Amino acid sequence: MKKIIYILLLLLVHGSIVAQKKQPAIKPFTNDELKDASKEADAYFKALNYPMALKLYERLVITEAGNAEYNHKLGLCYLLTNLAKHKAVPYLEFAANANTKDKPKDVLFDLGKAYHYAGLYDKAIETFEAFRVQKGGSVDAKLKFTRWVEWSYNAKKLVENPVACTFQNLSKTINSTQADYRPIMGAADTIIYFSSKRKGSTGGLTDDFGDSPSDVYFFTQNDTSRSKVKNAGIAVNTEFYEETMFLNMNGDRMLIYREGPEANGDIYLADLQGKSWGKPVLLGKDFQTKVLETGATMSPDGLTLYFSAEAMDGKTGKDIYKCTRTESTGFGKPEKLTGPLNTDGDEDNPVLWLDGKTLFFSSTNHQSMGGLDIFMSYMSSPSEGFGAPMNLGYPINSVYDDFNIAVAADGKTAYLSAVRDSGIGDYDLYKVTLEKSLVQNPLCWVAGKGVTNVGTPAKGAFAVITTPSSGDAVATLETNEANGRFDVALPPGTYKVVLKHAKAGKAETDLVIEPGTSHMSVELKFP
Domain check: are 296 and 406 in the same one?
Answer: yes
How far apart, in whole angstroms, are the C-alpha atoms of residue 58 and residue 303?
Answer: 53
pLDDT of residue 287: 67
356 class by beta-carbon count within 10 Å (0-12 exposed, 13-18 middle, 19+ buried): middle
pLDDT of residue 314: 66
The answer, yes or no, to whether residue 6 has pLDDT greater than 80, is: no
Domain check: are 300 and 353 in the same one?
Answer: yes
How far apart, in whole angstroms, are the C-alpha atoms of residue 305 and residue 352?
Answer: 9
pLDDT, tens only, 81-111: 998 999 999 999 999 998 878 789 899 999 9
The mean per-residue pLDDT over the stretch 114-120 comes to 98
Domain check: are 293 and 246 in the same one?
Answer: yes
The answer, yes or no, to whether residue 300 has pLDDT greater than 90, is: yes
pLDDT of residue 23: 58
How far apart, in whole angstroms, are the C-alpha atoms of residue 437 and residue 382?
Answer: 23
pLDDT of residue 9: 37
pLDDT, tens only, 190-204: 999 999 999 988 988
The mean per-residue pLDDT over the stretch 311-337 comes to 86
pLDDT of residue 274: 86
To the nearest whole number, what is the mean pLDDT of the chain? Answer: 91
Does residue 20 form part of some domain?
yes
Q: What CATH number has the domain bearing residue 521?
A: 2.60.40.10
pLDDT, tens only, 425-456: 899 999 999 999 999 999 999 999 999 888 88
pLDDT, tens only, 121-158: 999 999 999 999 999 999 999 999 999 999 999 999 99
Domain boundary among 107, 129, 159: 159
Domain check: are 335 and 484 in the same one?
Answer: no
Which of 477, 341, 401 lies closest to 322, judged by CA? Answer: 341
Domain check: are 155 and 169 in the same one?
Answer: no
Whether the CB-CB separation of 401 and 355 falls below 8 Å is answered with no
pLDDT of residue 91: 98
Whether the CB-CB separation of 297 and 351 falls below 8 Å is answered with yes
Does residue 255 form part of some domain?
yes
Does residue 235 form part of some domain?
yes
Q: What CATH number has the domain bearing residue 249?
A: 2.120.10.30
Domain check: are 495 and 398 in the same one?
Answer: no
Domain check: are 56 and 200 in the same one?
Answer: no
Domain check: are 422 and 488 in the same one?
Answer: no
pLDDT of residue 22: 53
Q: What CATH number has the domain bearing residue 77?
A: 1.25.40.10
Does residue 439 form part of some domain?
no
pLDDT of residue 198: 93
φ, ψ of residue 349 in degrees (nearest 5): 50, 55
Does residue 50 form part of some domain?
yes
Domain check: are 271 and 404 in the same one?
Answer: yes
Whether the CB-CB separation of 362 and 195 falls below 8 Å is answered with no
Q: Quickly list H helices, 180-311.
A: none
250 conformational bin, left if phi > 0, alpha if psi -120 to 50, beta if neither: alpha
Does residue 66 form part of some domain?
yes
Q: How far is CA 376 from the centre of its chain?
A: 14
Domain check: are 172 and 314 in the same one?
Answer: yes
Q: How far is CA 161 from the centre of its chain?
A: 23
pLDDT, tens only, 239-253: 999 999 999 999 999
The answer, yes or no, to whether residue 496 has pLDDT greater than 70, is: yes
pLDDT, tens only, 37-50: 999 999 999 999 99
pLDDT of residue 221: 96
Domain check: are 23 and 134 in the same one?
Answer: yes
Domain boundaries, position 132: 2-159
Whether the CB-CB separation of 434 and 414 falls below 8 Å is answered with yes
The mean per-residue pLDDT over the stretch 329-336 comes to 88
pLDDT band of residue 368 (cuts 50, 70, 90) is very high
Does residue 241 form part of some domain?
yes
pTM: 0.91
Whether the CB-CB separation of 188 and 251 falls below 8 Å is answered with yes
The answer, yes or no, to whether residue 18 has pLDDT greater than 80, is: no
The count of other CB atoms within 10 Å of the CB of residue 500 is 17
Q: Helix count (H) and strand count (E) of the chain?
A: 9, 28
- Specify the long-range contacts of residues 416-422, CB closer than 8 Å, at least 24 apart: 416/183, 416/374, 417/179, 417/180, 417/181, 417/182, 417/183, 417/194, 418/167, 419/82, 420/167, 420/169, 421/18, 422/167, 422/169
pLDDT of residue 99: 85
pLDDT, tens only, 216-241: 999 999 989 999 999 999 999 999 99
User: Which is higher by pLDDT, 26 or 349?
Assistant: 349
Domain boundary among 106, 126, 159: 159
How far apart, in whole angstroms, are the C-alpha atoms of residue 18 and residue 398?
Answer: 16
pLDDT of residue 299: 96
When divided into structural domains, the chain yields a total of: 3
Does residue 253 form part of some domain?
yes
The answer, yes or no, to whether residue 20 has pLDDT greater than 50, is: no
The answer, yes or no, to whether residue 8 has pLDDT greater than 50, is: no
pLDDT, tens only, 369-384: 999 999 999 999 888 8
Percentage with pLDDT > 90 across the chain: 77
Domain boundary among 133, 159, 185: 159
The answer, yes or no, to whether residue 414 has pLDDT greater than 90, is: yes
Domain check: are 392 and 494 in the same one?
Answer: no
